[in-house]
């Protein structure tokens, strides 16, 4: 609670906050205190715990359902690393109460840059790189199936998390929504990646990674409505 | 929404030491303590109303929005993440109410006069200020909305720059700049007043 340090107008008598009219106050008091009962919602720890469980469930369900498990050490390490990134985003950008979180600029940077970093990681970690035309001439359906799986599972996780955190953030609901879309998208992409044996750059970027950016964008639009009280 | 009448005693911004912290009052209110709500209301309502008046420039509209704000707060109290600073949390809800209302007002049909024009109320010319407080009030009213809001939040409501940035959804640097530029304009206006 402070004003700027070199306050040139410190000596001024700033206007006192006005009091609401008696009838307005009575109406508000009546509305807010009649039949007032304990109305405890989920604590933020519980919300964060359920979020982690939901994200893990989506990733494991996808990995198990995709068919061929991809047990290469590098892929597992990558999945583990991005799982940690998603947890860090969840706990620093979302699970702390609004007003006590990391700065708004950093949260926006996370929401904007992490999807790009994820796409770059997928492109660089691929073992095969085909020219774009050859990719389109090849089995595009496989990439489309992966993209659909990652997107649908990620959308389900995004919806679940938006519902879980609904009405918790009047300050920056769009940024929080984008972060929810981001971590749900990462869970979907990691799940699909763990169950898909394809190792070509375009396939990974379009089939596994694009959903992350799409869900972060969608999360910011839906979060604007759902996360604000 | 509700008729307005006499006023109740305002609580000073910047609570006294013997006043229970707002975060504890908020927790007790969520736990179903009506007296905690009474005390919370007594402490924050004037600040919210002052902020809404500054946004709307209309006391009646501001009081309506105050009721909408508390209705939302009441409905969302189970979603309040304990530990969040209550005043910025409440101000952010109030601000959202204002912008939602303004957006819906834009889509409301206006009655046209016979010549097909929307009847615009003519702004009343402000009478020259006679004391510093009045001059300050007029100077504040003449500021651009974003400057006025930044000064209202930091100077009148008593939020820190970081808290004000959270409420308005801007960076701390942007809020600092708005306060700085607003101060500059205020200073010029008040200098003119003191010369006259």
Of A2, A13, A18, the CB nearest to B10: A18
Residue A8 inside a domain? The answer is no
CB pairs under 8 A between A and B: 197
Residue A19 inside a domain? The answer is no
pLDDT value for B19: 55
Given a cut of 70, whether residue A11 has pLDDT beyond it is no
pLDDT value for B10: 42
Nearest residue on chain B to A13, judged by CA atoms?
B133
Point out the least confidently predicted range of A5-9, A174-178, A191-195, B44-48: A5-9
Provide the shortest C-alpha distance from residue A173 to chain B (in Å). Answer: 10
Kindly list the structural domains of chain B, giving each domain's residue range(s) and its CATH number in brackets, ordered by start. 11-106 (1.10.1740.10), 129-196 (1.10.10.10)
User: Chain-wide mean pLDDT for chain B?
Assistant: 80
Model confidence pTM above 0.95: no
Tokens representing residue B171 in the block: 């960076």
Contact B41/A32, CB-based, under 8 Å?
yes
Q: Positive or negative, the Cα torsion across B88, A3, B55, A221?
A: negative
A22-79 pLDDT, tens digit per residue, is 999 999 999 998 878 887 778 888 999 999 999 999 988 888 776 665 566 667 788 8
pLDDT value for A215: 96
Instruction: Please choose, from the candidates B89, B95, B94, the residue with its C-alpha nearest in 3D space to the C-alpha of residue B77.
Output: B89
State the average pLDDT over residues A164-183. 93
Tokens representing residue A154 in the block: 């990620």
Residue A187 inside a domain? The answer is yes
Given a cut of 80, whether residue B131 has pLDDT beyond it is no
Of A12, A21, A31, the CB nearest to B70: A31
Contact A99/B166, CB-based, under 8 Å?
yes
Q: Which of B84, B150, B171 to mutate to test the interface with A (most CBs of A within 10 A)?
A: B84
Contacts of A37 in chain B (CB under 8 A): 32
- 3-state secondary structure at position B7: strand
pLDDT value for B128: 59
pLDDT value for B103: 86
Residue A18 inside a domain? The answer is no
Which of A71-80, B32-41, B75-84, B156-165 holds the top average pLDDT? B32-41
B18-65 pLDDT, tens digit per residue, is 456 888 999 999 988 899 999 999 999 999 999 999 888 889 999 999
Given a cut of 70, whether residue B116 has pLDDT beyond it is no
Given a cut of 80, whether residue B100 has pLDDT beyond it is yes
Contacts of A96 in chain B (CB under 8 A): 81, 83
Residue A70 inside a domain? The answer is yes
Count: domains in chain A: 1
Instruction: Please choose, from the candidates A99, A101, A81, the residue with its C-alpha nearest in 3D space to the C-alpha of residue A90.
Output: A101
Contacts of B22 in chain A (CB under 8 A): none
Residue A49 inside a domain? The answer is no
Contacts of B6 in chain A (CB under 8 A): 21-22
Tokens representing residue B85 in the block: 């600073």
Provide the shortest C-alpha distance from residue A101 to chain B (in Å). Answer: 9
Q: Which residue has the tokens 């959804």?
A: B169
pLDDT value for A155: 95
Residue A84 inside a domain? The answer is yes
Contact A166/B63, CB-based, under 8 Å?
no
CA distances from A200 to A140, A169, A207, A221, B126 (A): 11, 40, 10, 32, 70
State the average pLDDT over residues A212-222. 95
Q: Which domain holds residue A88?
A: 55-97+105-226
Identify the burial level of B116 via C-beta atoms within 10 angstroms of its C-beta, where 0-12 means exposed, 13-18 middle and 19 or more buried.
exposed
Is the distance from CB of A153 to CB of A181 less than 8 angstroms? Answer: no
Given a cut of 60, whether residue A173 has pLDDT beyond it is yes
Residue A9 inside a domain? The answer is no
Q: Which of A28, A167, A223, A228 to mutate to test the interface with B (most CBs of B within 10 A)?
A: A28
Contacts of B63 in chain A (CB under 8 A): 20-21, 24
């Amino acid at each position: 609670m402070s004003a700027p340090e070199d306050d040139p107008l410190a000596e001024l008598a700033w206007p006192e906050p006005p009091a609401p009219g008696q009838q307005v106050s009575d109406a508000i008091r009546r509305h807010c205190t009649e039949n007032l009962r304990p109305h405890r919602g989920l604590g933020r720890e519980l919300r964060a715990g359920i979020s982690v469980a939901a994200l893990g469930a989506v990733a494991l369900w996808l990995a198990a359902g995709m068919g061929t498990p991809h047990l290469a050490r590098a892929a597992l390490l990558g999945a583990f690393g991005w799982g940690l990134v998603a947890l860090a985003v969840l706990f620093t950008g979302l699970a702390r109460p609004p007003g006590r979180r990391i700065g708004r600029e950093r949260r926006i940077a996370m929401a904007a840059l992490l999807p790009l970093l994820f796409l770059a990681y997928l492109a660089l970690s691929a073992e095969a790189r085909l020219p774009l035309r050859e990719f389109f001439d090849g089995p595009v359906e496989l990439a489309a199936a992966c993209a659909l799986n990652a997107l649908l599972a990620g959308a389900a996780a995004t919806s679940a998390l938006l519902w879980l955190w609904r009405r918790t953030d009047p300050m920056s609901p769009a940024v929080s929504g984008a972060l929810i879309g981001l971590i749900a998208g990462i869970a979907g992409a990691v799940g699909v990646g763990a169950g898909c044996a394809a190792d070509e750059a375009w396939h990974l970027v379009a089939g596994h990674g694009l959903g992350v950016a799409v869900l972060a964008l969608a999360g910011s639009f839906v979060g604007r409505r759902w996360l604000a009280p | 929404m509700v008729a307005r009448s006499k006023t109740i005693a305002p609580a000073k911004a910047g609570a006294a030491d013997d006043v229970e912290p707002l975060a504890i009052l908020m927790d007790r209110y969520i736990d179903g303590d009506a007296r905690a709500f009474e005390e919370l209301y007594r402490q924050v309502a004037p600040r919210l109303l002052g902020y809404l008046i500054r946004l709307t420039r209309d006391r009646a509209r501001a009081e309506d929005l105050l009721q909408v704000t508390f209705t939302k707060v009441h409905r969302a109290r189970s979603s309040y993440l304990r530990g969040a600073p209550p005043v910025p949390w409440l101000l952010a809800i109030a601000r959202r109410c204002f912008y939602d209302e303004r957006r819906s007002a834009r889509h409301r049909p206006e009655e046209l006069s016979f010549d097909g024009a929307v009847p615009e109320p003519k702004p009343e010319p402000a009478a020259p200020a006679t004391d510093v407080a009045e001059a300050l009030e007029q100077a504040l009213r003449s500021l651009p909305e974003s400057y006025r809001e930044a000064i209202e939040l930091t100077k009148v409501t008593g939020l820190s720059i970081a808290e004000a940035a959270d409420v308005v959804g801007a960076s701390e640097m942007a809020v600092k700049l708005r306060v700085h530029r607003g101060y500059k304009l205020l200073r010029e206006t008040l200098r003119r007043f003191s010369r006259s």
